[in-house]
Each structure stands twice: as C-alpha cells, then as structure tokens.
C-alpha cells in the first residue's frame, strides 16, 4: 500500500474513562463509558468516534462513486450506528448499520451506488469479514 496520510491518536487515563487526543490537536476529548455499559454516560466513547468516522468515510466513498458514474447526489447523507456487545468468547464484538439516504434518485440506482461505495470505502474494506455491516438505502 502506498500510504498518503497517517492519523495519530493517543489514549491515556482509564481507557473508556480516559482521554484521547490527536497529534494535530483537532481532537481532544475526555471519554466516558456509556450508562448502558455501567458507566456514567454523558460523554464521548470509542463507538461514537467509530460511528462518526465510518459515516464520514462511507459518505465520501459514495460521493466519489457517484462522481465517477456522473450521477449528481447533492443532498445525500450517511448515518451510522455502531453496536457493541459480548461476543460469546469472553470479549466484545461490534456490528454496524449504515443508512444511505439519496433523495430524488431511483432506489435501484441508489442501491448500486451504495454497493459500489462499500467496495471502495477504507472502513468497509477494514471491517469486511470481521464484523457485520448492514447497509440500507432510503430516499428520505
């Protein structure tokens, strides 16, 4: 792989109840375990950060695929839900639901764009075969 960019982050403190920063300084957050996992809640957590990253990356891939196919999707969006739970082997696993919204586009064409984006998105490529990623396409 010909690397064109590297992001760096450092986690300190008590893990899920610690702190994370990036070397650029653009991200500087205290982390809080969600109430659903026995924590105090009310702050950022790793699953939220993963959900935000995946949604943004997949949306970028969707727009790139659309440009390549000369399809205009000016009002598209991608929502992401990252689920965490016990994996049955003493650890935890993730699952992701992506919701692709492309108003004013035929459902089959929107689905085709989403499927193509799933093939080029770096997050999709990194998770493929490791976690369940479900993609739904909507026009609203």
Clarify whether residues 94 and 33 are in a common domain. no
Taking only the tens place, the pLDDT of each residue in 4-20 is: 999 999 999 999 999 99
Does residue 67 have a pLDDT over 90?
yes
pLDDT at 69: 97
105-127: average pLDDT = 97
40 contact partners, CB below 8 Å, separation of at least 6: 17, 32, 33
State the first-to-last Cα distance of the chain, in angstroms, to the nearest integer: 37
Q: Which domain holds residue 12?
A: 1-44
CB 98 within 8 Å of CB 121: no
Residue 140: pLDDT band by 50, 70, 90 thresholds? Answer: confident
Nearest to 92 by CA among 53, 140, 50, 58: 50
List the CATH number of the domain containing 27. 2.20.25.10
Clarify whether residues 37 and 53 are in a common domain. no
């Amino acid at each position: 792989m010909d690397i064109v960019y590297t992001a760096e982050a450092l986690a300190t403190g008590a893990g899920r109840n610690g702190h994370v920063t990036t070397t650029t300084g653009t991200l500087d957050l205290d982390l809080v375990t969600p109430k659903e996992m026995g924590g105090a809640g009310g702050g950022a957590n790793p699953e939220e950060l993963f959900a935000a990253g995946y949604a943004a990356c997949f949306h970028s891939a969707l727009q790139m695929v659309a440009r390549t196919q000369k399809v205009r999707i000016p009002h598209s969006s991608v929502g992401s839900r990252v689920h965490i739970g016990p994996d049955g082997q003493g650890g935890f696993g993730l699952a992701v639901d992506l919701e692709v919204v492309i108003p004013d586009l035929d459902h089959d064409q929107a689905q085709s764009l989403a499927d193509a984006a799933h093939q080029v998105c770096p997050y999709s490529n990194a998770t493929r075969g490791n976690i369940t990623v479900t993609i739904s396409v909507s026009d609203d």
